[in-house]
Amino acid sequence: MSGILYLVPTPIGNLKDMTFRAIETLNESDIILAEDTRNSGILLKHYEISTQMRSYHAHNEHQVTEEIIKQLNEGKTFSLITDAGSPGISDPGFLLVRACVENGIEVIALPGATAFVPALTVSGLISNEFIFVGFLPVKKGRQSKLNELKEEKRTLVFYESPHKITRTLKDLAEIFGSERKASLSREITKKFEETLRGTLSELHKISETRNLKGEMVLVVEGN
């Protein structure tokens, strides 16, 4: 009988956002696959979880997935965690899940912390229909991707890093139109959590004058 792969969300800032079920699942797993074992080690120590960890990240997932599938087929139970949030959402996980599906191995995803849902629901923009874009290409394909999204009628959700947010807001204002409404949430669940709302042009001006820090979720009104 084959084992099970659990996708376990971890807090995106506030350690109290860890669920009882997540702690129980990590404790009962044979191996925890972690994006960064040093980072995850802090979380596991906090919750007194002693399960063995193994690195699983964007740079080694192609090499180690086959061996993990082999061990799952032997009956091992694995839990996959990332540095923050739900595995597979702009984080490692897709390749392993696809391999499990192709090999008839059960995959169970636990509900839990993720950044884009709270950012979307506090934005004040239409949330019943939206498209999750994630991170935009840095160079190749960036312009064509933005032009493709320009006519999208659903609310758009982007992830962005603090050192790229000014450029992204500038690009969006130029291509989508400076008066398009938007909402920028940063430091979600943390002490300095903040949501800024306005037009793309207004948010761009704010990002130029303030040193905005923390991982960010940008929610943009559809066309």
Going by CATH, does the domain composed of 116-220 fall within 3.30.950.10? yes
pLDDT digits (tens, 9 = 90+) for 146-183: 999 999 999 999 999 999 999 999 999 999 999 999 99
Domain definitions of the chain by residue range: 4-109, 116-220
DSSP 151-173: T--SEEEEEE-TTTHHHHHHHHH
Task: State which H helix or E strand residue 134 sits in.
Answer: strand 130-134
CA atoms within a 13 Å half-sphere pointing along the CA-CB vector of 197 = 8
Sheet holding 4-7, edge to edge: 52-55, 31-34, 78-81, 4-7, 106-109
Rounded to the nearest 10 degrees, the angle between the axes of helix 165-176 and helix 142-149 is: 50
Whole-Å CA distances, 121 to 106, 109, 172: 31, 22, 21
What pLDDT sits at residue 178? 97
Parts of the chain with a pLDDT under 50:
none
- Rounded-to-integer distance, Cα 59 and Cα 57, Å: 6
Please tell me the pTM assigned to this model.
0.91
Q: Is 168 exposed, middle or buried (0-12, 13-18, 19+ CB in 10 A)?
A: buried
What pLDDT sits at residue 50? 97
First to last CA, the chain: 50
- Rounded-to-integer distance, Cα 2 and Cα 77, Å: 9
pLDDT digits (tens, 9 = 90+) for 197-213: 999 999 999 999 999 99
Q: Token pair for residue 201?
A: 């042009």
What pLDDT sits at residue 103? 97
Superfamily of domain 4-109: Tetrapyrrole methylase, N-terminal domain (3.40.1010.10)
What pLDDT sits at residue 2? 87
Rounded to the nearest 10 degrees, the angle between the axes of helix 94-102 and helix 61-73 is: 40
